């Protein structure tokens, strides 16, 4: 509860395997939160924006998890907060095996866009991942 209003927070670390059912199970869990705002954050270990968020671009077929994540986000009305705040931005959150990508994200669902104040990268330090900071405006007059 924040200011007397329910909110669901979900943090994930998705294993680096192409398991389409993972996001199907997450969808089942999140359907129980219908009607409350949901902040879903973590290392998703798959891309949403295709080659635009990976350098160098990956060759070959799109993993099943990528399409599964996109379907679940669409089905549950989630938005990619980074893309909302930075429509033309190209920031990476992960560096592994000399490849930069945006695997870490904070999608939100059931939350009015006016509540989204900012999403920013906190910079590289002591990890292959960049921490993200989501800032929401939350008032008691709603």
| 46-70 pLDDT, tens digit each | 777 654 566 666 666 677 788 888 8
Q: How far apart are CA 66 and CA 40, in angstroms?
A: 16
- Residues with Cβ within 8 Å of 19's Cβ and at least 6 positions away in sequence, in order, are 64, 65
| H/E segment holding residue 23 | helix 20-31
Q: How far apart are CA 43 and CA 11, in angstroms?
A: 8
pTM for the full model?
0.76
| 111-125 pLDDT, tens digit each | 776 777 888 877 766
């Amino acid at each position: 509860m924040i200011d007397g209003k329910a909110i669901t927070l979900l943090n994930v670390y998705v294993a680096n395997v192409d398991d389409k059912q993972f996001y199907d199970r997450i969808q089942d869990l999140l359907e129980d939160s219908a009607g409350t705002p949901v902040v879903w954050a973590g290392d998703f270990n798959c891309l949403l924006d295709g080659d635009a968020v990976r350098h160098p671009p990956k060759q070959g077929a799109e993993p099943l998890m990528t399409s599964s994540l996109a379907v679940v986000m669409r089905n549950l009305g989630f938005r990619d907060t980074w893309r909302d705040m930075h429509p033309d931005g190209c920031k990476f959150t992960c560096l592994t095996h000399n490849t930069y990508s945006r695997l870490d994200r904070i999608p939100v669902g059931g939350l009015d866009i006016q509540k989204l104040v900012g999403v920013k990268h906190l910079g590289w330090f002591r990890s292959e991942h960049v921490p993200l900071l989501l800032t929401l405006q939350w008032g008691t007059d709603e």
